[in-house]
Amino acid sequence: MNISPRLRAPAGFAVAAALLFLAAPLVLSDFRLGLLAKYLCWAIVALGIGLAWGRGGMLTLGQGLFFGLGGYAMAMHLKLADAGDGKLPDFMTLYGSGTELPWWWEPFRSPVFALAMVLVVPMAVAAVIGLAVFRRRVRGAYFAILSQALCAAFAIWLVGQQTSTGGTNGLTDIQGFFGYDLGDPKNQRMVYFIIAAVLLALMIGVRQLYVSRYGELLVAVRDSEERVRFLGYDPALVKLGAYVLAAGMAGIAGALFVPAVGIMSPALIGVVPSIEFLIGAAIGGRASLPGVVLGAVAVAWARSSLSEQFPSGWTYVQGLIFIVAVAFLPGGLASLKKYVVRRPASVETPAQPARKPAAEEVPA
């Protein structure tokens, strides 16, 4: 099959759409489709990491912060909707004073407000962090450590606020999604389709960004920030754009994760998950659009199936793969493409979880 370069991207998106909307729902059990929905949420985070890290050179090791902000915004609304008009979410009546809703919960009764906050909060927080950090020319490892610290601080704060955030448990046992009962497999499928559609739309958007002048400028800033400065650009603003967009994507991913899995908790957004968000992108190829998406899905799938067999070993395997990828293959698996001589690159498609599960596992 010989595909002209002009058609390669549309063809890739068409195949991706066919796999996500036709093949996966036909082939996978409801349970496996639910797992895939969760992996696709992580792929959305990875998409943002590809933009900010792969193209922008910012080592975004703390995307859990934005994932969590988006996720909690959604989960708060769904908990309030579950509880019903004027009532408190279940955990507050259990652990809290049980009488009054914290003032900052109140507006989340409105679905419009909650949905807006899914985007606004992570992006605004990223804008504040980004302005402070990029103006001071904090880069590389310092930026990564700062991101991790902020993410850890957020998770610790959540744990400490048992009565208003559910503490360590987080916001659990979410039943409904804008009027739909999440216990019904049909609605679970609907959630999967929403997530797949959002991922695909964001992939198309990010691709547009990559081929735009901004995309070229971002690469220029990544490779030689000083030089860009001398051309009359403010690199801090160029980086800020990509960072804020990546935060927005992480926020959306966190929000979609809630109906897919039924929970949002500090354990899903802390330091370790933040590193795991990045591993898939690093292995797949951080600067490659299909690379980050495929990498994120593949690593998530490998984690859940291998950790069934080697519960303790997986962490080490994952760390090892990460180090090998970064040390010997900085462009990730996507960079192997150029070694395939004279054969047009096959159209990349999201990897699918194995069709024959060894054992069913409970979603995290």
Partner 1 sequence: MSTLSLRDLSVAFDGTPVLNGVDLDVEPGDLRFLIGPNGAGKTTLVDAVTGLAPATGRARFGAHDLLGKSVHRIARLGIGRTFQTATVFEELTVAQNLDIAAGARRSVGTLLRRRTRLPESVSEALETTGLADVAERKAGELAHGQKQWLEIGMLLVQDVQLMLLDEPVAGMSHDERQATGELLRRIGAERTLVVIEHDMDFVRSFARSVTVLHAGQVLSEGTVEQVQADPQVQEVYLGRTTTASQEA
For position 229 contacting partner 1 by CB under 8 A, the verdict is yes
Site track 153-192 with partner 1 (rule: CB under 8 A), x = hit: ----------------------------------------
CB of 210 or CB of 301, closer to partner 1? 210
Whole-number minimum distance, CB 217 to partner 1, in Å? 6
How many whole angstroms separate alpha carbon 92 and alpha carbon 164? Answer: 7
Chosen residue from 224, 309, 330, 336 binding partner 1 by CB under 8 A: 224
For position 213 contacting partner 1 by CB under 8 A, the verdict is yes
How many whole angstroms separate alpha carbon 229 and alpha carbon 240? Answer: 15
For position 112 contacting partner 1 by CB under 8 A, the verdict is no
CB of 54 or CB of 353, closer to partner 1? 54
105: which 2 tokens? 């919960």
Answer left, alpha or beta for residue 46, where phi above 0 means left and psi between -120 and 50 means alpha: alpha
For position 226 contacting partner 1 by CB under 8 A, the verdict is yes
Site track 2-41 with partner 1 (rule: CB under 8 A), x = hit: ----------------------------------------
CB of 237 or CB of 323, closer to partner 1? 237
Residue count, binding to partner 1 (CB under 8 A): 22
Whole-number minimum distance, CB 337 to partner 1, in Å? 16
Contact 49, 206 (CB under 8 A): no
- Residues 65/66/67/69 CA torsion (nearest 10 deg): 90
How many whole angstroms separate alpha carbon 69 and alpha carbon 150? Answer: 12
Contact 332, 291 (CB under 8 A): yes
195: which 2 tokens? 């997530």
> Dihedral sign, CA of 117, 121, 122, 123?
positive
- Where do contacts with partner 1 occur on this chain (CB under 8 A)? 208-209, 211-214, 216-217, 219-220, 223-224, 226-235
